[in-house]
Structure 1
């Protein structure tokens, strides 16, 4: 069994994999070493991999070091991956973004795939049918946009992203929420239409903590997968174990 640890900007995802399949996922606070140890006590892990897009506390690092099996630290531009990374600055590439396209390529080999991750940020990452990661874009996520409207104006309030989202707001709260959430929706739809024009057999993965109701008239292969990053990390772990 493999332990996958995906440390994001807001939480830590602990995922148990057995023979390439997800057994269990648990989300914890970023510094919850007790939860990590409890999760690991439930399964006979033989190896693991850790990816982080934020700083790791000394306490959590110590907990990782004390685990009774080998843990690989995944670093973009340093750790070997089973795809061709054509990013100009691979050392600065977010490990979650790289893991996502590895997972997409593993699940959909020989396909042009766009991975859209809607979380703290909205990221768009593309890997072509011959396994070349060509790069991607980063945009502010919904909460970041909502906070920015409050912070950079004198009178606009901070609005939670969950709630009534009409086509046109009828008060300040719904105007802000609809403007942000519908704006992200149209942004994503625009990206997909643009990529479809270049890659007619495009496959799209949606992941992240925010779910949107997207509208398309085309016969489009679009699939939601909350585990695309952990699946990519598991593939990277197995790949490096195979090529020791």
Structure 2
């Protein structure tokens, strides 16, 4: 069995894979990451693991990884071998989560042109071709940052919660802010998809990420939700490194 450790900006995701099948996937708060890791790793008979992070690792967490009774490799963009061709001009600066996402997407649909949209702290748009070539992507503000920016860079706009009423036209300031952010994200995503469809009519789109919004897309949009694209990609990278060794 494989242990997958995916450390994001706000939480840690732990997953157990039996070959290619997801057995369990959980989220833990960063301040509970060490205890969560040790408890999760004791639950299964893991043979190997992989760790991906977009944030710094505490000494306690590093020591917890080192104490595990099996090897855990670290995904480092530009260094760790991956089963795709990476055309990013600065591969060492590419977020390991973005890299894992396109690997996972390509693994699930190897003969497709795929746009992976990850909605989290940031919103990322990453494209991998049907030839297995990662062409690059874009980074945009995530929902939380948008709400904070509206509050912190104005004199009177309140800080609004993400969950709540969303309308086509807000009839209160709170609803106007929430609707503007949520609807703006939806239009942004649809705009990217339309632009890519013009160039790649057979485009397949994966929507993933830790932030869930009530986004209602047109049925004509080839958008499919998959919460496990990054863990699937990390598991594939782990197995790939095992194969080449």
User: Residue deviations 1:22-72, cap 9 Å, x none?
Assistant: 101111122421111111111000000000000111111110110000000
Contact 2:143 2:181 in 1 (8 A): yes
Q: Indicate the residue corresponding to 1:174 in structure 2.
A: 175
Q: Does the 8 Å contact 1:127/1:133 carry over to 2? A: yes
**Over aligned residues, Cα RMSD in angstroms?**
0.9
Gaps of 5+ in 2: none
> Aligned residue for 1:19?
19
Structure 2 length-normalised TM? 0.97
Does residue 51 (structure 1) correspond to residue 52 (structure 2)? The answer is: yes
Query: CA contact under 8 A between 1:9 and 1:54: conserved in structure 2?
Result: yes
Which residue of structure 2 lines up, in the alignment, with residue 235 of structure 1? 236
- Count of equivalent residues: 243
Q: In the alignment, which residue of structure 2 is the partner of 1:215? A: 217
Are the counterparts in 2 of residues 31 and 57 from structure 1 also a CA contact under 8 Å? no
2:114 is aligned to 113
User: What residue number does 1:99 align with?
Assistant: 100
Deviation at 1:217, TM superposition (A): 5.1
Identify the residue that residue 29 of structure 1 maps to in structure 2.
29
Deviation at 1:110, TM superposition (A): 1.1
Spell out the pairing of 1:79-90 with structure 2 (5 A cutoff). Answer: 79-90=80-91
Aligned counterpart, 2:75: 74
Moved over 3 A (4+): none
Quick check: 1:189 aligned with 2:190?
A: yes
**Aligned partners of 1:6, 1:238: CA distance in 2, in Å?**
16
Q: What do residues 112-155 of structure 1 show as CA deviations (whole Å, max 9, x unaligned)?
A: 00000011111000000100000000000011000000000111
Tell me by how many angstroms 1:221 deviates.
3.4
